[in-house]
Structure 1
Amino acid sequence: MNIQLLKKTYFNIVMIYMIAGLSIPAIAEDSVLISDLATIESLARQGNAIAQYNLGVMYAAGSDVEQDNVKAFEWLNKAASQGLAEAQYNIGVMYDQGIAVPQSHEKAFTYYSHSAKQGYSRAQYNLGNLYSKGEGVVQNDISALEHWQQAAAQNNKLAQFNLGIAYADAKGVPKDNIAAFKWYKKSAEQGVAGAQFNLGVLYQQGQGVSKNNVKAAEWFEKAAKQGMAEAQFNLGFMYYKGEGVKLDYSKAAHWFESYSQLGYQDVQNELAKIYILSDGVYGDRVGGLAGLKRICDTGIQKYCDMYTEWSQKTD
């Protein structure tokens, strides 16, 4: 039996704008050495902004204290009112996500702005996201780009990723795949799965860089290992077709299974075909039938019928 090509095609560029979360690490620069909770609390109550910040992130993280977002907000807000950029950023996140306070993109914008003006890259990044989505401020791609550029210049990996998207999608700048490749690569090298995937797509399509399926597969694999469904599918497809990698139905089945286990059923037909070619995957009918049974167990009757029919056949 000859395996048939997938009807589905490769996933293309993903457009993901992510919000950076709470900044948990305590301040290192210009801080006093604080060795215990009692000292932190004492200094915080005396108005020490750094101690207030540290106490706030301890409550946010549940570090040495019972996790309490209300107390986290209380202490972070005290530090923010004294102009501490990291605290202003965290208060912005709490308003942005509605943590311990009613969600307010407008207030998030205000606090991010205060922090960003002091050069805090996470705030610059999130401020860019608010401008991009028009949340808490009038939508403005140019302003979004400016804030992402400020954060990216400080090596903020998420800002670098968003800059790549902006250049690939012509958001606030003319479309420029070379620039998109540059920023995706910077972000991908810092481990951002979406950037790794998009970099793979550019290599695969020869956009902004010479076409190279080997490198495409390498970057898809990095993203796939982080659990990114689109990358798992694309990598499985490359093994399925022998593009950029040696044709290998066993590895194709592995990545298609990983993809399907995330809840995607559109690859089940291809998995069934691979399992039927059991000698190409497992080297025996038992392994192939086991694969078909796993698909049957997802509750789709046609695969159960296929399993029953194939289990009754002999070589």
Structure 2
Amino acid sequence: MRRLLSGLRDGLTPAARFRRACDLLEREGRAAQGFALLGTLARGGMLAAQYQVARAYLEGTGVPPSPVEGLRWMHEAATAGHVEAAFSLALLLLGAPPRTVGADSLLPVSLPEGIAGWPDPVAATTWAACAAEKGLPDAQALYGYLLATGPDSVRDPQAARSWCAQAARAGCPQGDLGLALAHLSASGMAPGSDPDAVAALTRAAQGGLPTAQYMLGLLHERGWGVAQDRAQAAHWYACAAGQGIRPAQARYGALLLQGVQGARDVMAAETWLRRAAHAGDREAASLLGDMHARGEAAVPCAHEAATWYRMAAEQDHAVACRMLGMLYIQGRGVPADLTLARMWVKRAAVLGDVAAMTDLAATLLTEGAEADAPGIDFHAAAQAGDPVAAFNLAVSLYRGTGTAPERRQAVIWMERAARAGVVNAQYWLGRMLLGEGSGTADPIRARQWLEQAAEHGLPDACLVAAQLRLDGHGGPRDHAGALALYHVAARAGRVEAMFSLGAMYGGGHDIAPDRMQALHWFRQGAQGGNALSQLMLGRYLGRGLAGPADPVQAREWFARAAAQGLGAAQDECDRLAWVEADHTAS
């Protein structure tokens, strides 16, 4: 009886009813009852209940979510002096306007007094100040941050440092982060030049703040204010990446790809880069394109390379624009399309990519390209000794951009660029000297220039130089040397080189046959979409030339090659079907 009377007495106390309401709000199946009780207390003027009602509306706990009502109740509680409500209102006013499906905005037509819009960083600063002045450390950190980085009308760097320091002394990691940010935004000094700011950033990172961890990773990677240390950079990037910080995921993936303390982890790198790229990081997307283009991804694919490059290019990543243009030139992962190729390479040039202007000119050398000039006169720069301009001028003369082609002059300028070390010029000079429309065929010099470009790893040059070595054109036959060049081009993702490696290892050349190696390279080329590789892979699997026969897989690869218009593949499909039918009949 005494316990029952005590319970009834407590139930009549507003504080007890508030505790009861909060308890019900957190119970499954009782949240609506708890919200109803809180609403009664809030309407009666209890500030703590008003704050909880606001949170319930914003979070959709015990009531359908309503940012309008959440804002109204949070503003009412903050106006009446509730510290947490003032801080929460400041955070709300820094976020994007709440929206819902089928409605432009859930904001009320008339905002509460003192709020001009949403977001409203000026009003947010006012409410953060209210909570900060009442001693809430998180609000002090936020207030300091807004004084350091907010609109000009509220900025006060000296006060920003003071409030952030006050929050930091209270043990708030956000205060330490604010101190570091106040330095970076107000001093105009180089990052990491203030030891106190670095110390504050370190404390914030050690306190678990992912933004601070990412920034500390940057300092260690670049050597700003601390010793350059890639291992430490990777550690802090990993901490921030695990908490969802997109740029940290991108930098961590990049470091793993480059190698930390000499060890590369390509698989983990690809995982983190994918997370960052899917979240919209253009640098990560470009790196993923590189991985697939170079054959370093777990399952390299030219189509994937094009997809990632396009994702980065559409966000104006200059190098990705250029690389996507190159894929369109080569027809790797996308249909060959010189119009799109020039569009993307021009975009890269406009974005400031130095190599793009060279590649832009190179696109005009491809047979069938339209003579629509890049719109630049290269004569003056070329005559002044600029080798890239000499290369571009040679291309313009070769294609007859804006005038009749002058191919002998083109060869002269191309050789100037080649002798100055422009690798693309060495390659194209070799092509010209093979007699490709220049009227100056010289296979010996052609081979020399092509092999010089191949020494720099240019895949196109490797392919042509390898063929010259195979044929003994312009010099002695050298099948071992051709094999080495095909390996370089294959590592760069060129499926034609993969097919050639399979053919060479298959026999009939001046190297020891190795059918397992042949099968491996035919499979690589087939997976990359090369029709001849698909045909040969089907033959190897259908006839068991490098292991047990697998007619099911053979038929699949023949079908893929036939779908690309390779008639021999359809013949192989028919032959395989005939053999199987004959075997069944017997």
Coarse TM-score class (shorter-chain normalised): 0.7 to 0.9
Counterpart of 2:186 in 1: which secondary structure?
coil
Q: Which residue identity lines up with residue 141 of structure 2 in the other structure?
A: Y
Q: Which residue identity lines up with residue 376 of structure 2 in the other structure?
A: I
Q: What's the CA shift for 1:101?
A: 7.0
**TM-score of the pair, normalised by structure 2:** 0.42
Show the counterpart of 1:219: 308
Distance 2:297 2:86 in 1: 43
Question: What does residue range 109-120 of structure 1 map to in structure 2 within 5 Å?
Answer: 109-120=198-209
Q: Which residue identity lines up with residue 253 of structure 2 in the other structure?
A: G
Q: What's the CA shift for 1:43?
A: 3.5
Distance 1:69 1:299 in 2: 51
Q: What's the CA shift for 1:108?
A: 3.0
Q: What's the CA shift for 1:178?
A: 1.3
Show the counterpart of 2:179: 91
From 201, 210, 216, the counterpart of 1:127: 216
Distance 1:102 1:133, change over 3 A: closer
Distance 1:144 1:233, change over 3 A: same
- Unaligned 5+ segments in structure 2 are 1-83, 91-114, 116-122, 383-389, 406-586
Distance 1:236 1:148, change over 3 A: same
From 386, 392, 402, the counterpart of 1:311: 402
Question: What does residue range 34-73 of structure 1 map to in structure 2 within 5 Å?
Answer: 34=90, 36=123, 38-63=126-151, 65-73=153-161
Q: Which residue identity lines up with residue 325 of structure 2 in the other structure?
A: G
Say how many residue pairs are matched.
Answer: 278
The 8 Å contact of residues 180 and 208 in structure 1, kept in 2 or not, is answered as no
Counterpart of 2:376 in 1: which secondary structure?
helix
The 8 Å contact of residues 148 and 159 in structure 1, kept in 2 or not, is answered as yes
Distance 1:114 1:275, change over 3 A: same
Distance 2:227 2:402 in 1: 62
Distance 1:191 1:233 in 2: 19
Q: Which residue identity lines up with residue 91 of structure 1 in the other structure?
A: L
Where has structure 1 moved over 6 Å in runs of 4 or more? 276-279, 301-305
The reply on whether 1:193 has 2:282 as its aligned counterpart is: yes
- Unaligned 5+ segments in structure 1 are 1-27
Q: What's the CA shift for 1:234?
A: 0.5
Distance 1:29 1:131, change over 3 A: farther
Distance 1:120 1:296, change over 3 A: same
Cα deviations by residue, 1:205-246 (Å, 9 ceiling, x for unpaired): 221412201000100111111221111111111111111111
Show the counterpart of 1:6: none
Counterpart of 1:145 in 2: which secondary structure?
helix
The 8 Å contact of residues 107 and 136 in structure 1, kept in 2 or not, is answered as no
The 8 Å contact of residues 73 and 100 in structure 1, kept in 2 or not, is answered as no
Distance 2:188 2:355 in 1: 41
The reply on whether 1:154 has 2:243 as its aligned counterpart is: yes
Q: What's the CA shift for 1:275?
A: 5.7
The 8 Å contact of residues 166 and 172 in structure 1, kept in 2 or not, is answered as no
Show the counterpart of 2:104: none
Q: What's the CA shift for 1:176?
A: 1.8
Q: Which residue identity lines up with residue 90 of structure 1 in the other structure?
A: G
Q: Which residue identity lines up with residue 44 of structure 1 in the other structure?
A: A
The reply on whether 1:81 has 2:137 as its aligned counterpart is: no
From 64, 67, 89, the counterpart of 1:33: 89
The 8 Å contact of residues 181 and 199 in structure 1, kept in 2 or not, is answered as yes
The reply on whether 1:144 has 2:233 as its aligned counterpart is: yes
* Most deviating of 296-305 and 166-175: 296-305
Show the counterpart of 1:260: 349
Q: Percent identity?
A: 25
Distance 1:274 1:149, change over 3 A: closer
Distance 1:279 1:140 in 2: 51
The higher relative CO (CA closer than 8 Å, separation ≥ 6) is in 1
* Most deviating of 149-158 and 98-107: 98-107
Counterpart of 1:296 in 2: which secondary structure?
coil
Q: Which residue identity lines up with residue 226 of structure 2 in the other structure?
A: V
Counterpart of 1:206 in 2: which secondary structure?
coil
Distance 2:269 2:351 in 1: 28
Distance 1:274 1:146 in 2: 43
The structure richer in helix per residue is 2
Distance 1:174 1:312, change over 3 A: closer
Distance 2:188 2:340 in 1: 48
The 8 Å contact of residues 87 and 127 in structure 2, kept in 1 or not, is answered as no
* Most deviating of 250-259 and 151-160: 151-160
Distance 2:131 2:85 in 1: 17
Distance 2:257 2:361 in 1: 36
**TM-score of the pair, normalised by structure 1:** 0.73
Distance 1:297 1:70, change over 3 A: farther
The 8 Å contact of residues 53 and 75 in structure 1, kept in 2 or not, is answered as yes
Distance 2:358 2:131 in 1: 64
Q: What's the CA shift for 1:133?
A: 3.6
Cα deviations by residue, 1:92-118 (Å, 9 ceiling, x for unpaired): 2344x4633755353233112211222
Distance 1:156 1:235 in 2: 27
The reply on whether 1:296 has 2:377 as its aligned counterpart is: yes
Counterpart of 1:207 in 2: which secondary structure?
coil
From 171, 187, 190, the counterpart of 1:100: 187
Distance 1:220 1:82, change over 3 A: same
Cα deviations by residue, 1:28-73 (Å, 9 ceiling, x for unpaired): 9994434745444344334333333333333344349344444444
Distance 1:173 1:145 in 2: 13
* Most deviating of 71-80 and 271-280: 271-280
Question: What does residue range 168-183 of structure 1 map to in structure 2 within 5 Å?
Answer: 168-172=257-261, 174-183=263-272
Q: Which residue identity lines up with residue 52 of structure 1 in the other structure?
A: Q
Show the counterpart of 1:20: none
Show the counterpart of 1:209: 298
The 8 Å contact of residues 62 and 68 in structure 1, kept in 2 or not, is answered as no
Counterpart of 2:243 in 1: which secondary structure?
coil
Show the counterpart of 1:237: 326
The 8 Å contact of residues 218 and 233 in structure 2, kept in 1 or not, is answered as yes
Counterpart of 1:267 in 2: which secondary structure?
helix
